[in-house]
Chain A
Amino acid sequence: MIRLVPRSHFGVWSTVFPLLIALGLTVVVGFVVLLAMSEQPLSDIWTLLTYPWQARTASVQWGFVLQKTSYLAVIAVGLSIGFRANVWNIGAEGQFAFGSIAAFAGYLLCGMPDTVWFLPVMLAFGVAGGVLWALIPAALRVIANTNELLTSLMLVYVAANVLNYVTTGPWKGDPKAGQAESDPIHQSLQIVSIIERTDLHWGVVISGGAIVALALVVLFTIFGYSLRVAQNTPRAQRFAGFSPNMTIWLSFIISGAMAGLAGAIYLSAETGKLIQSENYLNGLGFTAIVIAFLGRLHPFGIVAAAFLISYVNVGATYVQSASGVDDAVADLVQVTALFAVLGTAFLSRYRVVFGAQAILGERTA
């Protein structure tokens, strides 16, 4: 006999335990998939799980893991604020793109300054761009009561096409490049690496700072408090005197700002220029939605989930190219992890009791 007994106390263990089970399930499913797809599944899964350590270029791999973690985490933490308050912005990819476009526009508007001191201004332009793009679905929701899931998603494709337009039209750069792209920004505005020849750049630090700042805002300001109240207790929210529409505006502004910041950092640190959307956007804004839920909408959880997914991704990319396994493996692992985490979420609220203990449990419960 198996019984589920509600937990009376929530501790660290009740949070960590289901995550460990989810991790185990993910490894098992990943192994089964590799078993079907690869000729040497054992060595492949070993490589997949340990690649960043054993690679000859370990520092490069770790840099890549941390860089990817920072983009995913900064976007996901922003999204989680709205998700907790039932505001569904799934268009972070578009806000990311618009953040990049706005940062570049700011650079052009200010006369292409060639100094590192302009970098904060450029990042601020990026933040503003992300916010601007996020305000569209927010306004549609508040004024016309449209479903923000649809509008925010559709605006991703609009933003991608705006990016295509500027890189083929007004801001078109070198016509001999193999892709539509703008001219690069000045070297001085390109964020540099902390450790040479790795992807571990100062943008990672800026993202980390943004996450910490947001966490402080949520914990120590009235505005953060109002967001926490809004989470699933809309009546208490009105009782306290907060307007539900304010929650919608603020959720979109925050998630847009974080995605816009990520977009501006990406422009400065990774590419140094705008490129046509297929070669510029790589789904970070969408993956961040998964990360937000993998991390249970909690900042620590989100950073951990972003790290894990980035880590596995680096290994999967290598295995893909090294042993010719289809590149769907990384996506499969990611989706499996999401299902496993959501499927085991109930374990943080309930204890599972087996066999004779189940009957005993009923006595003492």
Chain B
Amino acid sequence: MKGLLSLEQITKAYPGVLANDAVDFDVKPGEIHALLGENGAGKSTLMKVLSGQTKPDAGRIVWKDQETAIASPQASKALGIGMVHQHFAVFDGMSVGENVALGLGRDFDASQRDSIRETSEKYGLPLNPDALVFTLSAGEKQRIEIVRALLGEPQLLILDEPTSVLTPREAEALFATLRLLRDEGRGLVFISHKLNEVRALCNRATILRGGKVVATCVPAEKSAEEIAEMMIGTRPVPTRKAAKRIGALALSVDGLTNDEVSIPSLQVSAGEIVGVAGVAGNGQEALYALLSGETLAAEASSISLHGQTIGRRGPGERRVMGAAFVPEERLGHAAVPDFSLIDNTLLTNIQTEGFQRRGLLDWTRTREHSEEICAGYDVRHAGVTGRASSLSGGNLQKFIVGRELIKSPSVLVVNQPTWGVDMGSATNIRDRLKALAEAGSAVLVISQDLDELFELADRLCVLNHGVLSPTRPTADWTAETLGVAMAGDADRSAAATLVEERAT
């Protein structure tokens, strides 16, 4: 048997876009094959073909040297293809065991409990079958998905951005598991944006761009920059830290506490970027909401903007004072999905001068402004009257960030500036944020992307279990020390496993 799976000349068209254009892709037993590409490059479509969710227009699927068709997700499973999704399909109110059994279409009983324990121990995925899912960390929820996939005895396992929600330490543990699976002779497909992970883990990489295969390489032999260049086509601008002049204190937090977060102290001055690192679900949303005024602080004095206390003032008043905010969620928070770009332009400009005349909205002015944002921030769109939900993630994010940056805010708070955004747009947005700080604004970036934080921030702090650490200059941090500071979850679950093992 030469190969495990081979896709030949797979072509799939959607209206207006050729998602896969004669794509060749193969996986051998005992290898981890990375599938790389920007958002929209065709990775998801190719994986949908493999998991039986869609049928290709043309091309052959060869499984263990035999041509086959994958008509449905069930057929895909029956062949021996397992899938670990980026967004976990687990029920919070049920136990681990019940979730696993549900995915396999069986009842949860004693034999299930044993097989879950056996599998999870064998592959270094500690899981307690009786734990309730809502008590688990993201890493543990992912283990449920992997164990569930493994119980189906797959020969090919597909992992879609598996490390996007993990701490560095949890990611290392996952890699150990994946290497074990590889050494058993299974084939693995690893989809990721994180090039350093791919270089450390994968035997081969196939790079997609615009629906076509542009290269296949051994990632360890290439630098991350070279791979990135293949993915986006042009060489990304090397990061350069300009000498900055730090100005007056702009945003200051002192003893801010509510049910979800506790921020003993945080200062951001004009001209600098402060980064807040942390794994998703550690209070980023609550921190953002307190700073934007969407949640009011208990004490007015706990937040100051340009020396004035603003803890009890709402987002509108804070905007009037020169602040601007970019929330994480694009649709339904930063933008109204069913609104046109014109309507959405007004969302953060209600208090801005020139958008109202004698109490009436000036739609002409708003329309012009939305066109200025789109032109100035490279938003590719089919007209400003189009709905926000019709834009791609990257373009909508450029619009949402541009809507704030065009105001040259003296303070900007941005939560996950490039989350789920294609690499070209992400680079664009980061460059704009740097330019804003260089022009003298105070910028606070909350992000899960460590590379992004190292690139942008002058100082860094960590949000862990809702508690914000003191900031230190970025140069004083390494990926490892930052990872350890973020890793509260991993430590806790490891400890829990130990206690549980002793009890049984």
Q: Which residues of A contact B (CB under 8 A)?
A: 8, 220-222, 225, 228-229, 233, 235-236, 238-241, 243, 362-365
For B62-81 the 0/1 string (1 means CB < 8 A from A) is: 00000000000000000000
Whether a CB of chain A sits under 8 angstroms from the CB of B368 is no
Provide 10 A-B residue pairs closer than 8 Å at the C-beta atoms, listed in order of the A residue: A220-B363, A222-B350, A228-B339, A228-B343, A236-B336, A236-B347, A238-B294, A239-B333, A239-B348, A240-B350
Chain A residue nearest to B327 in the complex (CB)? A239
B347's partner among A8, A221, A229 (CB-CB below 8 A) is A229
How many A-B residue pairs have C-beta atoms within 8 angstroms? Tell me: 67
Interface size class of B (residues with CB under 8 A): 20 to 34
What residues of B have a CB within 8 angstroms of the CB of A238 in the complex? 294, 315
**Distance of A365 Cα from B161 Cα, bound (Å):** 26
Whether a CB of chain A sits under 8 angstroms from the CB of B43 is no
CB of A279, distance to nearest CB on chain B (Å):
43
**Distance of A302 Cα from B158 Cα, bound (Å):** 51
Say whether A365 contacts B14, CB under 8 Å.
Answer: yes
- A220-B361, A221-B359, A365-B15 given as contacts; is B316 within 8 A of A241 (CB)? yes
Whether a CB of chain A sits under 8 angstroms from the CB of B337 is yes
Say whether A233 contacts B315, CB under 8 Å.
Answer: no
**Distance of A237 Cα from B339 Cα, bound (Å):** 13
What residues of B have a CB within 8 angstroms of the CB of A239 in the complex? 292, 294, 315, 325, 327, 333-334, 347-348
CB of A32, distance to nearest CB on chain B (Å):
38
Say whether B314 contacts A243, CB under 8 Å.
Answer: yes
Chain A residue nearest to B317 in the complex (CB)? A241
**Distance of A225 Cα from B362 Cα, bound (Å):** 12
**Distance of A233 Cα from B347 Cα, bound (Å):** 12
What residues of A have a CB within 8 angstroms of the CB of B325 in the complex? 239
For B329-369 the 0/1 string (1 means CB < 8 A from A) is: 10011111101000100111011000010011101000000
Whether a CB of chain A sits under 8 angstroms from the CB of B209 is no
Say whether B350 contacts A236, CB under 8 Å.
Answer: no
What residues of A have a CB within 8 angstroms of the CB of B356 in the complex? 222
What residues of B have a CB within 8 angstroms of the CB of A235 in the complex? 294, 327, 329, 332-333
- A222-B350, A239-B327, A241-B315 given as contacts; is B336 within 8 A of A233 (CB)? yes
What residues of A have a CB within 8 angstroms of the CB of B332 in the complex? 233, 235-236
SS of A interface (majority): helix
What residues of A have a CB within 8 angstroms of the CB of B143 in the complex? none
Chain A residue nearest to B326 in the complex (CB)? A239
- A239-B294, A240-B315 given as contacts; is B360 within 8 A of A221 (CB)? yes
Say whether B15 contacts A364, CB under 8 Å.
Answer: yes
Say whether B351 contacts A241, CB under 8 Å.
Answer: yes
A233's partner among B317, B337, B359 (CB-CB below 8 A) is B337
Whether a CB of chain A sits under 8 angstroms from the CB of B229 is no
A221, A238, A239, most chain B CB atoms within 10 A: A239
**Distance of A243 Cα from B325 Cα, bound (Å):** 17
Chain B residue nearest to A236 in the complex (CB)? B336
**Distance of A236 Cα from B350 Cα, bound (Å):** 13
Given A236-B347, A239-B348, output 4 extra A-B contacts at Cβ < 8 Å. A222-B359, A225-B361, A235-B294, A362-B55
Q: For chain B residues 353-396, which have a beta carbon within 8 Å of chain A?
A: 356, 359-361, 363
Say whether B359 contacts A229, CB under 8 Å.
Answer: no
Whether a CB of chain A sits under 8 angstroms from the CB of B121 is no
Whether a CB of chain A sits under 8 angstroms from the CB of B319 is yes
Say whether A241 contacts B359, CB under 8 Å.
Answer: no
CB of A304, distance to nearest CB on chain B (Å):
22
Whether a CB of chain A sits under 8 angstroms from the CB of B114 is no
**Distance of A365 Cα from B334 Cα, bound (Å):** 30
**Distance of A125 Cα from B360 Cα, bound (Å):** 26
What residues of B have a CB within 8 angstroms of the CB of A364 in the complex? 13, 15
CB of A53, distance to nearest CB on chain B (Å):
40
CB of B9, distance to nearest CB on chain A (Å):
17
**Distance of A8 Cα from B317 Cα, bound (Å):** 38
B14, B292, B317, B361, most chain A CB atoms within 10 A: B361
Chain A residue nearest to B54 in the complex (CB)? A362
A225's partner among B57, B327, B335, B346 (CB-CB below 8 A) is B346
Chain B residue nearest to A223 in the complex (CB)? B359
CB of A124, distance to nearest CB on chain B (Å):
20
What residues of A have a CB within 8 angstroms of the CB of B317 in the complex? 241
**Distance of A233 Cα from B327 Cα, bound (Å):** 14
What residues of A have a CB within 8 angstroms of the CB of B347 in the complex? 229, 236, 239-240
- A229-B347, A241-B315, A241-B319 given as contacts; is B333 within 8 A of A236 (CB)? yes
CB of B362, distance to nearest CB on chain A (Å):
9
CB of B504, distance to nearest CB on chain A (Å):
44
CB of B383, distance to nearest CB on chain A (Å):
13
CB of B288, distance to nearest CB on chain A (Å):
10
Say whether B333 contacts A220, CB under 8 Å.
Answer: no
What residues of B have a CB within 8 angstroms of the CB of A243 in the complex? 314
What residues of B have a CB within 8 angstroms of the CB of A236 in the complex? 332-336, 347
**Distance of A76 Cα from B111 Cα, bound (Å):** 60
**Distance of A228 Cα from B340 Cα, bound (Å):** 12
**Distance of A307 Cα from B366 Cα, bound (Å):** 36
CB of A14, distance to nearest CB on chain B (Å):
14
**Distance of A221 Cα from B333 Cα, bound (Å):** 21
What residues of B have a CB within 8 angstroms of the CB of A363 in the complex? 57
**Distance of A112 Cα from B351 Cα, bound (Å):** 46
What residues of A have a CB within 8 angstroms of the CB of B316 in the complex? 240-241
Say whether A241 contacts B361, CB under 8 Å.
Answer: no
**Distance of A335 Cα from B361 Cα, bound (Å):** 40
B334, B335, B350, B351, most chain A CB atoms within 10 A: B350
What residues of B have a CB within 8 angstroms of the CB of A8 in the complex? 15
Chain B residue nearest to A240 in the complex (CB)? B347
Q: For chain B residues 267-314, which have a beta carbon within 8 Å of chain A?
A: 292-294, 314
**Distance of A220 Cα from B359 Cα, bound (Å):** 9
A241's partner among B55, B314, B327, B333 (CB-CB below 8 A) is B314
CB of B439, distance to nearest CB on chain A (Å):
25
CB of A201, distance to nearest CB on chain B (Å):
32
**Distance of A87 Cα from B298 Cα, bound (Å):** 28
Q: Please name the 4 residue pairs, one residue from A and one from B, whose CB atoms are nearest each other, closest first.
A: A241-B316, A241-B315, A235-B333, A238-B294
CB of B413, distance to nearest CB on chain A (Å):
12
Say whether B360 contacts A220, CB under 8 Å.
Answer: yes
